[in-house]
């Protein structure tokens, strides 16, 4: 299934379904940002390879987009080609491996694992976004990181070469994977899981993780999750709150009063306003505590 692309988009290549000047805001959880010069929503391996070849011929910069729940897209748009993975959702089971394509929503993947009597990722229940995005940033929640369940990852180079990577513990760290800040395209991920005899119990565990997020108000307003990584001194949210930013607003972007490391959107805003707010918070925490915060969300496009 292709995403519904807004009317303004001009189709430039029927075979590949590459579209020109496509608004990206509807494809992100913040709901802000400008247009992609070109956008392709690939559905097959062949299409992905052909799309890469098309971009390489034109030497276009490349950006991967999964669920768009950990990115801040520039209001001035994204240069080159954006490849959206959300239609890549196939999966299969080869006990004890669960293998899926990168665009499958992580939450759905956990349900499918449980359906197949496999478990381990329930603490990540309710985490928005795709498997590819979660692997890229080594997503974690409730003391569990996605990395610890990965067996291998099939990825493509920018040139379209398919390779298999086998997980080594040392390659992953807090919110970082061997794919972070590279041009490698995560295609398929194999998770090594534990057998579970009672999937319904696992589903309850997963739903508890989701319910905790809901109770904390994580789904009440558009956001991109935690803005900053936790520094070694403690939770970023604690320092942001102590620096007096809880509830602080700038141009429609607000530091959540429930979780100070979330910037939430309560009205009309822009990516620039969100970005400016994060700079203010960063400066405030540095001045008050001498702690430099590192941004967790990814800045994408012409910043």
Ligand X SMILES: Cc1cc2nc3c(=O)[nH]c(=O)nc-3n(C[C@H](O)[C@H](O)[C@H](O)COP(=O)(O)OP(=O)(O)OC[C@H]3O[C@@H](n4cnc5c(N)ncnc54)[C@H](O)[C@@H]3O)c2cc1C
The answer to whether the CB of 102 falls within 8 A of the CB of 150 is no
Q: Is 224 in the site for ligand X (CB under 6 A)?
A: yes
CB of 195 to ligand X, least distance (A): 26
From candidates 38, 54, 98, 136, binder to ligand X by CB under 6 A: 136
Tell me phi and psi for residue 154, to 5 degrees: -90, 130
- The C-alpha atoms of residue 193 and residue 95 are separated, in whole angstroms, by 8
Task: Please report which helix (H) or strand (E) contains residue 276, including its range.
Answer: helix 271-289
> Segment near ligand X (CB under 6 A), from 36-44, 62-70, 227-235, 237-245?
62-70
Select from 190, 193, 97 the least CA-distant residue to 135.
190
From candidates 5, 139, 240, 293, binder to ligand X by CB under 6 A: 139
From candidates 33, 120, 125, 137, binder to ligand X by CB under 6 A: 137
Sequence length of the chain is 303
From candidates 223, 230, 256, 270, binder to ligand X by CB under 6 A: 223
- Per DSSP, the residues of 40-90 read EE--SHHHHHHHHHHHHHTT--EEEESS-SSEEE-TT-EEEEEEE-TT---
From candidates 77, 125, 133, 301, binder to ligand X by CB under 6 A: 133
**Where do the DSSP E strands lie in the chain?**
10-13, 18-23, 35-41, 62-65, 71-73, 78-84, 91-94, 97-101, 118-119, 140-141, 144-145, 150-156, 162-166, 185-192, 194-195, 249-250, 253-255, 263-265, 298-300
> Segment near ligand X (CB under 6 A), from 121-129, 159-167, 239-247, 281-289?
121-129
* Residues in contact with ligand X, shown as a per-residue x/- string from 160 to 199 under the rule CB under 6 A: -------------------x-----xx-------------
* Residues in contact with ligand X, shown as a per-residue x/- string from 90 to 109 under the rule CB under 6 A: ------------x-------
Q: Is 134 in the site for ligand X (CB under 6 A)?
A: yes
- The C-alpha atoms of residue 183 and residue 63 are separated, in whole angstroms, by 8
3-state secondary structure of 99: strand
> Segment near ligand X (CB under 6 A), from 40-48, 63-71, 110-118, 249-257?
63-71
Query: Would you tell me how many other CB atoms lie within 10 Å of the CB of residue 288?
Result: 14
From candidates 34, 120, 123, 128, binder to ligand X by CB under 6 A: 128
* Residues in contact with ligand X, shown as a per-residue x/- string from 66 to 85 under the rule CB under 6 A: xxxxxx-------------x
From candidates 64, 78, 196, 273, binder to ligand X by CB under 6 A: 64
Q: Is 140 in the site for ligand X (CB under 6 A)?
A: yes
Binding site for ligand X (CB under 6 A): 29, 63-71, 85, 102, 127-130, 132-134, 136-137, 139-141, 179, 185-186, 218, 223-225, 298
């Amino acid at each position: 299934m292709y995403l519904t692309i807004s009317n303004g988009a001009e189709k430039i290549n029927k075979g590949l379904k590459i579209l020109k000047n496509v608004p990206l805001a509807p494809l992100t959880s913040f709901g802000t940002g400008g247009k992609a010069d070109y956008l392709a929503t690939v559905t097959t391996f062949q299409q992905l390879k052909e799309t890469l070849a098309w971009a390489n011929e034109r030497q276009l910069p490349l950006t991967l987009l999964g669920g768009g729940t950990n990115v801040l897209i520039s209001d001035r748009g994204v240069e080159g080609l954006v490849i959206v993975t959300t239609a890549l959702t196939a999966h299969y089971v080869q006990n004890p491996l669960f293998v899926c394509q990168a665009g499958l929503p992580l939450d759905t993947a956990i349900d499918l694992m449980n359906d197949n009597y496999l478990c381990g990722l329930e603490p990540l229940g309710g985490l928005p976004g795709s498997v590819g995005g979660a692997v890229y940033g080594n997503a974690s929640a409730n003391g569990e990181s996605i990395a610890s369940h990965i067996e291998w990852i099939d990825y493509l180079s920018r040139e379209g070469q398919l390779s298999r990577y086998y997980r080594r513990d040392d390659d992953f760290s807090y919110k970082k994977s061997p794919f972070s800040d590279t041009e490698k395209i995560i295609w398929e991920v194999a998770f090594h899981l534990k057998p579970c005899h009672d999937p319904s119990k696992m589903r309850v565990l997963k739903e508890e993780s989701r319910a905790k997020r809901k109770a904390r108000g994580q789904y009440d307003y558009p956001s991109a999750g935690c803005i900053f990584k936790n520094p070694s001194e403690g939770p970023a949210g604690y320092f942001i709150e102590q620096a007096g930013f809880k509830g602080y607003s700038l141009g429609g972007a607000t530091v959540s009063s429930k979780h100070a490391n979330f910037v939430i959107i309560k009205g009309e805003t822009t990516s620039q306003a969100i970005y400016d707010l994060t700079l203010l918070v960063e400066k405030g925490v540095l001045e008050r505590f001498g702690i430099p915060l590192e941004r967790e969300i990814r800045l994408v496009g012409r910043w």
